[in-house]
Amino acid sequence: MQYRSLGHTGVQVSSLALGAMNFGRIGRTTQEEVTAIVEAALTAGINLIDTADAYSGGQSEEMVGKAIAGRREDIVLATKVALPMGDNPNARGSSRRWLVTELDNSLRRLGVDHVDLYQIHRWDPATSDEETLSALTDLQRAGKIRYFGSSTFPAYRIVEAQWAARTHHLGRYVTEQPAYSILQRGVESHILPVTEQYGLGVLVWSPLASGWLSGAVRQGKEVTTSRSTMMPTRFDTAVPANRAKLEAVEQLAKVADEAGLTMIQLALGFVTAHPAVTAALIGPRTLEHLDSQLAAADTILSADVLDAVDAIVAPGVDLAPAEKNDTPPALLDASLRRRPAA
């Protein structure tokens, strides 16, 4: 297992990190299965575990907490906040009111007195950077969080938050967590240059592109990934973007075969090769999934292999741009880009 510095914090984290989104109802995993996955990951050298309050309505945090009992000091523990937690309109977002309340809820579910990294799961347009950063800074000074970061922020919001921290003399985000894979390379043109500029650690999610790069999706093969049930339109080959992904996957499979690699090794080795990336988040649902992903822990792709990938999916290109999670609101809501009628 490789270890890298988390931005400029000095904290060393494994280049593969354990993502806990599949723990609980989402992945239909039991506590026994979760504990076994966590134990195997730690034994293999993974030291960063990433969860969120919204994963299975808090169940993921509870399961992670039970699985790490007695091992807290061995783990860099990260969780997230901001996605809705029920119907209450104030039980979401990044206001001071909600951050203070929900951090205590997360600590209770995890069974710990602090988390190492507290991340804003999505940018909240309704809350100012000063409000959010001020609350996070106070929570940090109270010892409840060690560092804080952002997740899936548009590039300009990452910059705005850095400037707000400087202007108001507040703590700053030290990490960003974007989606990044061979099939979705848009972050290379806007997010990753910004994170490098500001010295942020980068924890990338969905490096296997929701299963497209796991080897489970191939021409003429029935799709059996759990994501195909959860998000059927993302695997419907009648959709042009999905056809483009499938064509790319078939070409990538040949590159992997010629290099003596599995598709998973190619996919994870690709994202961890980028100099801006600190770690790739893997989200196994079973021990078998974990083992197949751990095989990529020490994968280093040659320049020839990386060039071959570039020839299939060009740098900075998203094959399915409609699936992006960091699209600015003005591109999604017509009322934000049109003048009202006179």
For 252, residues 6+ apart whose C-beta sits below 8 A from its C-beta are 182, 213, 263, 266, 309, 312
Catalytic center residues: 55
Residue 160, C-beta contacts closer than 8 angstroms, at least 6 positions apart: 129
Tokens at 197, concatenated = 């500029």
Distance CA 228, CA 104 (A): 35
CA proximity to 214, closest of 195, 229, 228: 228
Q: Are strands 3-5 and 12-14 parallel, antiparallel or unpaired?
A: antiparallel
From residue 41, how far is each of 1, 16, 91, 282 by CA, in Å?
11, 10, 32, 10
Based on the number of CB atoms within 10 Å of its own CB, is 171 exposed (0-12), middle (13-18) or buried (19 or more)? middle
3-state secondary structure of 314: coil
The DSSP-derived string for 75-106 is: -EEEEEE-S--SS-TTSSSS-HHHHHHHHHHH
Residue 276: count other Cβ atoms within 10 Å of its Cβ: 20
- Look at residue 119 and give its three-state secondary structure: strand
| Beta carbons of 267 and 2 less than 8 angstroms apart | no
CA dihedral 18, 22, 23, 25 (to 10 degrees): 170
Q: What whole-number distance in Å separates Cα of residue 107 and Cα of residue 53?
A: 10
| CA–CA gap between residue 315 and residue 36 (Å, rounded) | 38
55's CB contacts (< 8 A; 6+ apart) are 20, 21, 23, 24, 26, 61
